[in-house]
Amino acid sequence: MSVLVYTESENGKFKKNAFEVASYANEVASQLGTSAIAISFNVQDDERLGEYGISKVLKVSNEHLKTFSAKAFADAIAQAVKKENAKAVIVSSSADTKFMAPLLAAKLKAGYVPNVVSAPENVDPFTVKRTAFSNKGFAHTQINTDIKIVGVSNNAFGQHEKKLNLEIEGFNPEIDESCFSVKSFEVDKVVGKATIADADIVVSGGRGLKGPENWGMIEELAEVLGAATACSKPVSDLGWRPHGEHVGQTGKPVASNLYIAIGISGAIQHLAGVSASKTKVVINTDPEAPFFRAADYGIVGDAFEVVPKLIEKLKDFKA
């Protein structure tokens, strides 16, 4: 019996969440009295997983799996689960994985719980805590199937170093040609900028910024902090910012360590997508803005005065 973790990567390098899910797998393995094994796809630095409690990596090197394919990855992971007799499978809650994990669950006849925010509360019965109702509540959920799949929320469990001797074993799953009925030929990605999914800090602007010409200060603040930029729905609907930056119930979810909301009222649909962030800072002229009730820190003030001062202070601090 073992615990298997799917570690996500891009261009041969692990994504940040790979070390978080590896740490989580190690925790589940120690609760179950077994070891944590990882599966990686076309990664060059597998040995890093040995720093996060992984004892063995099944290393897949396959040209056809260089870009993500939900069906093919589910097929490969299912074969790894059977090979290692894994009873728990740990994955992230990224958009790609949320697409792939239900296919894997169907293949393995496994129960799947995404958006899990802490270590299992119990392993018999297997019980996890996850967010529910667009992050407005928690559900304590039992998984009663033989194989359990747990999707860990970004930044919820954290990375925990634990050095182990790591064995790296080549693994060559047989992938059915039908898995490649949908193929990605090329992925064009913005480079040199933090993405909303991976960023520790997100700086977000709303309609209070009046127009796209005022986003210079949002971008500058994001640059000083090494943050990703985001926006409210009307801002992207108005074409002030690209749709990829829209966060909230109908946009991207944000689970960063710090979320700075500038000129955003805090409508329920916006809060639904950002409330998993650890610390929320709100800058708004209206002391009655609903966002202040969800904020950890609030500044009642005009963004056009507050943000430049914040940038100046941060630059001084960094210097």
Ligand X SMILES: Cc1cc2nc3c(=O)[nH]c(=O)nc-3n(C[C@H](O)[C@H](O)[C@H](O)COP(=O)(O)OP(=O)(O)OC[C@H]3O[C@@H](n4cnc5c(N)ncnc54)[C@H](O)[C@@H]3O)c2cc1C
Binding site for ligand X (CB under 6 A): 206-208, 232-235, 248-251, 263-265, 267, 269-270, 273, 283-286, 289, 302-304
Q: In terms of CB distance, is 22 or 254 closer to ligand X?
A: 254
Least Å distance, CB 301 to ligand X, is: 7
Token pair belonging to 303: 């963004």
Q: In terms of CB distance, is 169 or 302 closer to ligand X?
A: 302
Q: In terms of CB distance, is 70 or 289 closer to ligand X?
A: 289
Q: Is 76 exposed, middle or buried (0-12, 13-18, 19+ CB in 10 A)?
A: buried
Q: In terms of CB distance, is 210 or 315 closer to ligand X?
A: 210
The SS3 call for residue 86 is strand
Least Å distance, CB 154 to ligand X, is: 18
Q: Where are the beta strands (DSSP E) in the chain?
A: 2-6, 9-10, 13-14, 36-41, 56-60, 86-92, 111-116, 122-123, 126-132, 137-143, 148-152, 167-170, 201-205, 228-231, 258-262, 279-284, 297-300
Q: In terms of CB distance, is 113 or 218 closer to ligand X?
A: 218
The SS3 call for residue 304 is helix
- The answer to whether 40 touches 73, Cβ cutoff 8 Å, is no
Least Å distance, CB 203 to ligand X, is: 13
Q: In terms of CB distance, is 71 or 270 closer to ligand X?
A: 270
Greatest pairwise CA separation for the chain in angstroms: 60
Least Å distance, CB 263 to ligand X, is: 4
- Report the distance separating Cα 319 and Cα 315, nearest Å: 6
Q: In terms of CB distance, is 45 or 302 closer to ligand X?
A: 302
Q: In terms of CB distance, is 77 or 264 closer to ligand X?
A: 264
Q: In terms of CB distance, is 2 or 135 closer to ligand X?
A: 135
- Report the distance separating Cα 256 and Cα 202, nearest Å: 7
Least Å distance, CB 214 to ligand X, is: 9
- The answer to whether 297 touches 279, Cβ cutoff 8 Å, is yes
Peptide bond into 102 cis (omega under 30): no
Token pair belonging to 38: 């990882």
Q: Which residues pair with 138 in a beta bridge?
A: 131
- Report the distance separating Cα 101 and Cα 21, nearest Å: 14
Token pair belonging to 189: 């990605």
Least Å distance, CB 275 to ligand X, is: 12
- Report the distance separating Cα 244 and Cα 251, nearest Å: 8
Backbone angles phi, psi at 244, to 5 degrees: -60, -15
